[in-house]
Structure 1
Amino acid sequence: MAGSGEHFKALVRSHGNGDDEAFYSVALQVAAQAARQGHHRLAADLKTAVEGARAERPTKVTSIAQPRGDLSDLVIASHPTVTLKELVLPEDLAVQVQRILSEQRQRKSLLDHGYEPAHRLLFEGPPGTGKTMTAAVLAHELSLPLLTIRLDSLMSKFMGETASKLRVIFESAESQRAVYLFDEFDALGGDRAGNDVGEARRILNSFLVFLENSSSESLIIAATNHRSILDKALFRRFDMVLDYALPDSKQAAAVMRGRLGSIAKGIRWPSLADHMTGLSHADLVRAAESAAKSVILSGGTRVTADDVKVALKSRQAASLG
């Protein structure tokens, strides 16, 4: 049957929340899965049904866009399917992610004893090291929607109104339980030292107040590539700060093995360690995909160490360029 159990649960959740756009998004994911399984007629029928429904009824991105329609292009709603097993992290970081999940899963017990589960989280580290993927995993494992807020667009498009838009987002976080990801957070959280721009200062102060007063109903995640430029006042407002780094050779091999699967059996990964140095999780995934596609397009059935080496060299050259 086309469509996984997670897809069907996501459909029910989005319908129950009245979130049409999330419902349509999951339906299209089911259609794509049906097409991959060879059910082309079903896939076409699903796409036609979604397009027809969208044409007949005005779309809405998520419920937080309802009070302020112009937020619709700033909020991306999704129902991730990536699992905890697919997340490759150093042991200490993996323990922190497990702790977050444990506290959220037992949130009622903690609240009954007067303690709030960790829900204000700061993810910092280089691009492509797993910050966004961790947010997606948390959403999936907790069966919550992931709502991504692009602060760079929010700051540029709604300068002068940003503080009021932030209030709408935090009010939504109180009423609709979800994982709220403030991506590219340094656009908002830059150090205020020597900053005389009154509007930027008011925006950051507003965020700090909203964050401080936020309840544990939702997970609030701020992700940044530039911890060094963040205002120092931010750090004490978060319950947990997770530091991400480029993977070591063992983690890098695990990332590539996970993406290649059985098509890469027999590769001696330690021999490729030097070629994986300095590459992010995202780079390694792209290199694995490139090696696999090259083999498939040439009619092969097995990726070799040489195939992976060529792909890794290409990614290193791209990262240096």
Structure 2
Amino acid sequence: MAATADHVRALVRAHARDDDQGFYSVALQVAAKAARQGHTRFAADLRELIDAAQSRPTARRTGPIPVVKPKGELAELVTAEYPEIRLRDMTLADGVRARLERVIREQRQRERLEGFGFAPMHRLLLVGPPGTGKSMTAAVLAKELGLPLFTIRLDGLISRFMGETSAKLRVIFDATVQTRAVYLFDEFDALGGERGAGNDVGEARRILNTFLLFLDETSPESLVVAATNHPDLLDRALFRRFDMVVAYDRPNAEQAVRVLRGRLAVMDTSGVDWEQLHDHVDGLSHAELVRAAETAAKNAILSDSESVTNTDLISALDERRLAHA
């Protein structure tokens, strides 16, 4: 068979993402492999089909029309986007995936729950090392629920005149009632730090107390997602105010290989010994694995090859590990 299992998976992923260029790139790889195996007729037919499809004018696919845009003072406090990443695109521990699926299910059946007097989970705290998918999770929730993602700009929120910060928090939490969206407080420890810290000046306590009050009053119409790399810096009172705390960790060896395979799906990886990579992925985050895969892929492309070598991939992984050793 000309197409390997990796090729088939890559074709399906590209189709699901409406990635025409990626789809045709993988199809050409299948044709090239067929030609090398002696299936010249099939390879020629496939190339003709690809050429015909690429030359045919197609209606431009458009993403969702942004019917919701932050206005007024809110526009200065958040950035808005309509993410495209789905939950199926993330490599996650089974426990984390199950918890996120629960949030999505409750939000999709929000009205049914509210009919019985229950509110869906809508206040989430995501904790874990950098690059493990916390911010991406907020984007996934927005996509799965068909909502915009509003990321809070902490540089605009935290004023040197601390009294202004509480007023700006009011603007954001008022918006959660008026505009249904996913509101992401990234690097949340900058706002939710321990109230007993030595440099606390009293006003910081009032800001955190204000945040806790607003959080308690948040409407289940929207999701408030706080993410931090440093949960040890957070005030203890915060943890019990969230409906769910989701802990992320760096991927284990099997998960790491899935991340690498996914990013390299458009390349020929038949020469990669995936089991051998287990000794070279320890301690790397999802983001670092993706960057290592991209480095190895670009090395192959710049060498006029479609094949990622075992040596290049191991070298890229080891370089990432040394960077934070």
* TMscore range, shorter length: 0.7 to 0.9
Query: Does structure 2 conserve the Cα–Cα contact (< 8 Å) formed by 1:189 and 1:204?
Result: yes
The aligned residue for residue 258 of structure 2 is 254
The aligned residue for residue 311 of structure 1 is 316
Matched, 1:291 2:264: no
* Equivalent in 151, 154, 158 of residue 155 of structure 1: 158
* Equivalent in 124, 133, 137 of residue 136 of structure 2: 133
2:251, 2:77 → 1: CA distance? 31
The aligned residue for residue 211 of structure 2 is 207
Query: Does structure 2 conserve the Cα–Cα contact (< 8 Å) formed by 1:125 and 1:227?
Result: yes
The aligned residue for residue 79 of structure 2 is 76
Counterpart code for 1:303: V
> Number of matched residues?
266
Counterpart code for 2:286: H
Residue by residue over 1:51-106, the C-alpha shift from the partner in whole angstroms, topping out at 9 and shown as x without a partner, is: xxxxxxxxxxx23xx1x2xx544411111111111111100011001101100111
1:141, 1:204 → 2: CA distance? 30
Query: Structure 1 158/123 Cα, relative in aligned 2: closer, same or farther at 3 Å?
Result: farther
2:170, 2:93 → 1: CA distance? 35
The aligned residue for residue 37 of structure 1 is none
The aligned residue for residue 117 of structure 2 is 114
Give the deviation of 1:269 after TM superposition: 1.4
Query: Structure 1 4/124 Cα, relative in aligned 2: closer, same or farther at 3 Å?
Result: farther
More helix per residue: 1
Residue by residue over 1:9-61, the C-alpha shift from the partner in whole angstroms, topping out at 9 and shown as x without a partner, is: x21xx23x3x2xxxxxxxxxxxxxxxxxxxxxxxxxxxxxxxxxxxxxxxxxx
Give the deviation of 1:160 after TM superposition: 2.8
Query: Does structure 1 conserve the Cα–Cα contact (< 8 Å) formed by 2:183 and 2:224?
Result: yes
The aligned residue for residue 168 of structure 2 is 165
The aligned residue for residue 180 of structure 1 is 183
* Equivalent in 261, 268, 275 of residue 273 of structure 2: 268
Work out which of the two has the higher radius of gyration on C-alpha atoms and give 1 or 2. 2
1:13-24 to structure 2, matched below 5 A, reads 14-15=66-67, 17=68, 19=69
1:139, 1:174 → 2: CA distance? 16
Query: Does structure 2 conserve the Cα–Cα contact (< 8 Å) formed by 1:257 and 1:264?
Result: no
Give the deviation of 1:193 after TM superposition: 1.8
Give the deviation of 1:229 after TM superposition: 1.2
Supply the RMSD in Å over aligned alpha carbons. 1.6
Gaps of at least 5 residues in structure 2 are: 1-57
4+ long deviations beyond 4 Å:
none
Residue by residue over 1:142-197, the C-alpha shift from the partner in whole angstroms, topping out at 9 and shown as x without a partner, is: 11100001325522456330000000000001010000000100001111125541
Query: Does structure 2 conserve the Cα–Cα contact (< 8 Å) formed by 1:139 and 1:178?
Result: yes
Query: Structure 1 133/3 Cα, relative in aligned 2: closer, same or farther at 3 Å?
Result: farther
Relative contact order, higher structure (CA 8 A, sep 6+) = 2
Query: Structure 1 302/156 Cα, relative in aligned 2: closer, same or farther at 3 Å?
Result: farther
Residue by residue over 1:122-149, the C-alpha shift from the partner in whole angstroms, topping out at 9 and shown as x without a partner, is: 0000000000111111111111100001
Gaps of at least 5 residues in structure 1 are: 20-61
TM-score (ref. length: structure 2)? 0.78
